[in-house]
Amino acid sequence: MGYLLGVDFSGNYIKLVEIDNSYKKTVLHKIDYIKTDINFNSPHLYQIIFEPESVFKIVSNITTLLERNQINSNNVSVTLPASTALVVTVPIDNDLSSDEIKDSLLWEVSNYYSDIRPENFNIAHYILERGNNSNTALLVAISKDLVNFIKNMFSDLSLKVVQINIDHFAALKVTIAKAIERNRENYSLVGFRGDYLDIGKINNRSLSHYSGAFISTMDDDCLDIIKSFLQDKIDEPCYFYGEQFTKMIIDAIVTHFNIKYYTILDPFQNVGVPRTIDIKKTFISNLSDFAFAVGAVVNTK
């Protein structure tokens, strides 16, 4: 398959990973990042891309990042923060037709974005749990304007966007091949970046639950809010990722929920890293920094 490029927009950073998939084991080829003054975690990112100054900064930064790394790939997989999209669980009656399901999902989106036509979103749904009368589904909606902006920007840079991922699900891809305990098929994945906290529960290697919420890190009771959000959701083994997860916060969570098996997500656990690349020098906050960019490409073999 050759070279694969993953680019992640998160926080105030654009992160890049290129891997070589032509060997038996995936090998890291390039890894880099550039800091910007654009907050990609903003739920209003779909509006920011209409600001000429912001567009200039984004294009300039990604151009610089690509030029200094001399990328080999012609395609790119992109990840965006869950906070920039609508990611919620919804019930879907089993007796609905395809058209009725589509109308139901459009209605759900309109409840969250009353000022935007639901037709202006790319909408997808994934069944999490099946029931006798209804299924629990994960609804994902991303602004078409944002999607088109990303595709056109990379097209102008001679790169074809082959996939746009939500960061949590890109991170999930780097956990599936090797859970904390060998052959463990049930675990949880908890992310905390910017003001957005989310958790995914995996059963039999498939996502069975997802929840997300905005939590201000400036609140004095931030830790109590986190614990309340995770109550009856978190399970072990547990992966943590995101720049907001300090050792203090993780220690408080695992102590409160009596979790013994946990770790910061290591996106390179199944990627060969040449001796010429010191990935520790690329860490911004912790080991999980490049989980989204790696997850965008590592499981495409």
Which tens digit of pLDDT belongs to each residue from 238-290?
999 999 999 999 999 999 999 999 999 999 988 889 999 988 888 888 889 99
For residue 118, what are its two tokens? Answer: 């639901």
For residue 251, what are its two tokens? Answer: 């220690």
- Does residue 300 surpass a pLDDT of 70? no
Cα 265 to Cα 2, 180, 245: the distances in Å are: 26, 9, 11
- What tens digit of pLDDT does each residue of 136-193 get? 999 999 999 999 999 999 999 999 999 999 999 999 988 865 555 556 778 999 999 9
The confidence score (pLDDT) of residue 289 equals 93
The confidence score (pLDDT) of residue 301 equals 44
The confidence score (pLDDT) of residue 25 equals 79
Residue 275 lies in a domain: no
Residues 102 and 169 in one domain: no
Pair 57, 38: CB distance under 8 Å: yes
Residue 273 lies in a domain: no
User: pLDDT tier at 293 (50, 70, 90 boundaries)?
Assistant: very high
Residues 107 and 227 in one domain: no
Residues 77 and 90 in one domain: no
- Sheet with 3-10, side-by-side order of all strands: 27-35, 13-20, 3-10, 75-80, 160-166
What is the Cβ-side half-sphere exposure of residue 41, based on CA atoms within 13 angstroms? Answer: 20
Residues 118 and 232 in one domain: no
The confidence score (pLDDT) of residue 87 equals 95
Peptide bond between residue 81 and the one before it cis (omega within 30 degrees of 0):
no
Out of 27-31, 121-125, 288-292, 296-300, pick the least confident.
296-300
Residues 55 and 153 in one domain: yes
The confidence score (pLDDT) of residue 127 equals 92
Question: Total structural domains in the chain?
Answer: 3
The confidence score (pLDDT) of residue 1 equals 62
Domain assignment of residue 96, given as a range: 85-142
Question: Would strands 196-203 and 187-193 be described as parallel, antiparallel, or unpaired?
Answer: antiparallel
- What tens digit of pLDDT does each residue of 64-83 get? 999 999 999 999 999 999 99
Task: Residue 137: give its domain's CATH number.
Answer: 3.30.1490.300
The confidence score (pLDDT) of residue 177 equals 56
- What tens digit of pLDDT does each residue of 2-48 get? 899 999 999 999 999 999 988 777 899 999 999 999 999 999 999 99
Mean pLDDT over 48-63 rounds to 95
| Domain endpoint, select from 142, 160, 189 | 142
Per the model's pLDDT, the better-predicted residue between 120 and 25 turns out to be 120
Task: Residue 18: give its domain's CATH number.
Answer: 3.30.420.40
Residues 13 and 61 in one domain: yes
Residues 165 and 240 in one domain: no
